Structure 1
Amino acid sequence: MRLTAAAVALGTTLLTGCGSADAEAPSTSLPSATSAAPTTEALPVVGPADFPVLPEARTQDAAGAEAFLRYWIDLLNRQRAIPAGQPLRDLGPDCGECQRIAGAYDETAAAGERYEGGELELNDVTTPRLAEDTAAFGFGVRQEAVRLVDATGAVVDPGQELKTNAAGGIDLLWSASDRTWLVTSFGIG
């Protein structure tokens, strides 16, 4: 009985304290913007301004490396259609095959020629082999038939036939300064 009476007295005291004139009124303003959680630092733009490397391809893990490989294949398709090689040079500065492909795209553009076909589509991708700041993949790729034509559409080079599952490989190096993967080796057999 005494415990119950004490609890009722304490509860009454607390409740009356809430309604007293001396109590501070609740705030009607929101916290200032400076008290918000810090925002994530923006990633520097990498790749063409209108086709940048996606954020999911800019993580230093297996998922990021695979997303970069998929972006690279899309970039090859995009640049072949333009044709222009600089983005390939930028993302593969130490990759001999990347430099060769970039040069071919630039020479094609300078000659007023273009590629018809040649689109690449990944069939399968192995799990990347990760080691410190590198990643390596094997993959299969479908490559549509491709030919080189001049401004009138006349065939300059009959090119290659369809390859339904050509073997390929890519080696990547993590660039801490750009926070992205860079291609160090690439090939489709």
Structure 2
Amino acid sequence: MLGTALLAGCSEDAAAPSESLPSATSAPTTEALPVVGPADFPVPPAARTQDAAGAETFLRYWIDLLERQQAVPAGQPLRDLGPDCGECQRIARVFDETAASGWRYQGGELTLNDVPAPVMEGETAYVSFGIRQEAVQRVDATGAPVDDGQDVAPNVFGGINLIWSAASQSWVVTGFGYG
């Protein structure tokens, strides 16, 4: 998010600027990061650093995005952030099919239980995690179940593989799964 600053005016008799301070033109500038992810739920800047902290923050964002898109349901943001991730594409397709059928999800909240330090190898990050998934059921417009659903999974192992995209200045998902 971009911030704005409000500057107060100076009176004519204000002291001259200190010669020991750098001029405004000597300060380094950084261009705004391009928006990645849904416009109303973009990948946060903390998840857009090419280091272990950025990779872990991206995982946390990804889990939040999964929950958000399941609630809609809509798969396109998952496709956008995981174009070469087979499981990401499958989840996106199921979300889209659910919406096209007029169905929705009940439950299915995700909570990360454990996230060890990511393994970094060049432009790739491997992040394992433990996750809790609450019971989830797809239902039709009347609230009637349309499939068997899934029971609560209190602590299952998962992982996400990420690659750094210099073009978008963000992580991109190349592999994901849990269960």
In the alignment, does 2:46 pair up with 1:76?
A: no
**Of 168, 177, 184, the match for 2:174:** 184
Aligned to 1:56: 46
Question: Which deviations, in whole Å up to 9, do the C-alpha atoms of 1:119-148 show, x marking residues without a partner?
Answer: 111000121110010000111000000000
Aligned to 2:85: 95
Q: Give the number of the structure whose residues are more often helix, by fraction.
A: 1
Question: Which deviations, in whole Å up to 9, do the C-alpha atoms of 1:136-167 show, x marking residues without a partner?
Answer: 01110000000000011111113100000011
TM-score (norm 1): 0.82
Q: Contact conserved, 1:146 with 1:158, CA < 8 A, in 2?
A: no
Secondary structure of 2:94's match?
A: helix
Q: Distance in 2 between matches of 1:41 and 1:141?
A: 36
In the alignment, does 2:152 pair up with 1:162?
A: yes
Q: Contact conserved, 1:137 with 1:169, CA < 8 A, in 2?
A: yes
Aligned to 1:46: 36
In the alignment, does 2:31 pair up with 1:67?
A: no
TM-score (norm 2): 0.86
Q: Distance in 2 between matches of 1:127 and 1:105?
A: 30
Q: CA RMSD in A?
A: 1.8
Percent same amino acid among aligned pairs?
Answer: 67
In the alignment, does 2:112 pair up with 1:122?
A: yes
CA-CA distance at 1:34 after TM superposition: 5.9
Aligned to 2:130: 140
CA-CA distance at 1:27 after TM superposition: 8.0
In the alignment, does 2:27 pair up with 1:37?
A: yes
Aligned to 1:171: 161
In the alignment, does 2:140 pair up with 1:150?
A: yes
Unpaired segments ≥5 residues, structure 1 = 1-25
**Larger-Rg structure:** 1
Aligned to 2:5: none
Q: Distance in 1 between matches of 2:119 and 2:99?
A: 36
Aligned length, in residue pairs: 163
